[in-house]
Amino acid sequence: MDLIIRAPGQLPSIDEDKLLRIICLVAAATMLVAAGGLAFADGSGDPTAVKSDDGKYFDKAGDPTYKIGADGTVDWYTYSGYRRYHSECHVCHGPDGMGSSYAPALKDSLKTMSYADFLSTVASGRKNVTTSQENVMPAFGDNPNVACYMDDLYIYLRARANDAVGRVRPAKHEDKSKAYTDAETSCMGH
């Protein structure tokens, strides 16, 4: 490694191509900041169900989604997600995903959060620290009452994010499928 000694005020030499790339990068970053930051597409995507597999619905990207019939009947996963959310998540995140003074409104978070990010956050937790506050979400990846129902939670909150279900327990739901029951039994270790 060579030690370069420069006189005070002497700038390092840089080739023109590298300088032009740096100027373009700084200009792009400046325009991004001036425009209000990064623009993210809706992380949860189009929630329209295009495929069904044993009572579980998927959107065109292959992510789990909700299905609500014309008569208001919700799929089993949405109904189960409602039940699981209100047994595990509402204490911090408020009823119906509306948030609280110390945890965000998941109804809003799922408008921009992808399925993969949701799973990662729930399983591994998250810590957001600023000078004015410290928000910590614990990891739930080893809690079977959450881990076994992450898709249910995602589907319910996705339905809430898209105003497809209201702030009440769904009145009608599809039956629990055998495939769901088998997966639940296996996950819970029964």
For the entire predicted model, the pTM comes to: 0.73
Q: At what angle do helices 76-84 and 150-161 cross, to 10 degrees?
A: 100
Mean pLDDT of 40-62: 82
Q: What is the pLDDT of residues 64-101, one digit of tens each?
A: 999 999 999 999 999 999 999 888 887 778 787 777 77
Using CB atoms within 10 Å of the CB of residue 8, give its burial: 0 to 12 exposed, 13 to 18 middle, 19+ buried: exposed
Q: Is 153 in contact with 85 (CB distance < 8 Å)?
A: yes
Q: What is the pLDDT of residue 46?
A: 87
